[in-house]
Amino acid sequence: MVEAPQQFSILGLPIHLMNDYVGWLTSRLQAGIGTHVVTLNAEMTILCEKSDTLAAIVRKADLIIPDGSGIVFYLRLHGKKIRRCPGIELAESLLKRAEQDLQNPQVFFYGGAPGVAQAAGQAIKKKYDSINIIGTQHGFINNTEIKKLQENLIALQPQLILVGLGVPRQELWIAENRSLCPQATWIGVGGSLDIWSGIKSRAPAILANNHLEWLYRLYQEPWRWRRMLALPIFARKAIVYRFTPSSPLSNPLPVNEAPPK
């Protein structure tokens, strides 16, 4: 289970395809193998085209899962039928499995507005009693507080660290700090802390099941409209690259190769 899952390329970025992400991650947790999980969606993919730093972080991640409907759409264009794996569902499933398979699993929450990480931790503790929430920290902190957070992580050495700072801040922060807890599993969970804390809610099933969760999120956070422009851009590129033989990305690249310039 600790072997690398199958890889595929999406616009030059790797994606990992497997049936049991949670089982693979649990095995690495049990073995104390440090892991960085990226939940890839269309927005992040387009951001990677603009940021070489973010693209490099994604390529170096140990597990990249198909979080967004756009990613699933791209994969299906290439004959890869796989279900979307939202980051919040992956994190909750991993917490549930950790409670069952690990003894007193230690978890740390970082991100969100003041009080959110703490409330999210309390909600998770109530749902999974054996989970040990050994620390929480909101995301609005200054340089002095960041240094204290880093010192706390070194001292506590949690097994699972859930970072909800939003894309790309959470990915950059994990890449810069994962050496503090080299045996931990780090997951960027975006707005999951808000949902666990009860501040926000997930999209109704009828929207989520029809790939319209992004619309509900836009309803909750209308300021995101500029970022949502990445969705049609990604869809257009996915179709063009799939059906234009002359396109350098028409055929998926081996993930150990750099994407064409």
Q: What is the pLDDT of residues 111-165, one digit of tens each?
A: 999 999 999 999 999 999 999 999 999 999 999 999 999 999 999 999 999 999 9
Q: For residues 18 and 254, which has the higher predicted lDDT (pLDDT)?
A: 18
Would you state the CATH architecture of domain 21-228?
A: 3-Layer(aba) Sandwich (3.40)
pLDDT of residue 261: 33
What integer is the mean pLDDT of 242-260? 49
Q: How far is CA 240 from CA 9, 175, 188, in A?
A: 15, 32, 30
What residues pair up with 9 in beta bridges, in sequence order?
14
Dist CA 95 CA 90 (whole Å):
9
Written as six digits, the tokens of 11 are 């616009």
Residue 241 binned pLDDT confidence (cut-offs 50, 70, 90): confident
Q: What is the pLDDT of residues 184-228, one digit of tens each?
A: 999 999 999 999 999 886 766 676 666 667 666 665 666 664 666
pLDDT of residue 250: 41
Question: What is the number of alpha carbons within 13 Å of residue 152 lying toward its C-beta?
Answer: 15
Residue 254 has pLDDT above 60, yes or no: no
- pTM of this prediction? 0.86
Q: What is the pLDDT of residues 57-105, one digit of tens each?
A: 999 999 999 998 899 999 999 899 888 899 999 999 999 999 999 989 9
For the chain, what are the domain ranges?
21-228
Q: For residues 75 and 232, which has the higher predicted lDDT (pLDDT)?
A: 75
DSSP for residue 248: T
Dist CA 13 CA 237 (whole Å):
14
In order, the DSSP letters of 176-228 are: HHGGGSTTSEEEE-TTHHHHHHTSS-PPPHHHHTTT-HHHHHHHH-GGGHHHH
Residue 246 has pLDDT above 90, yes or no: no
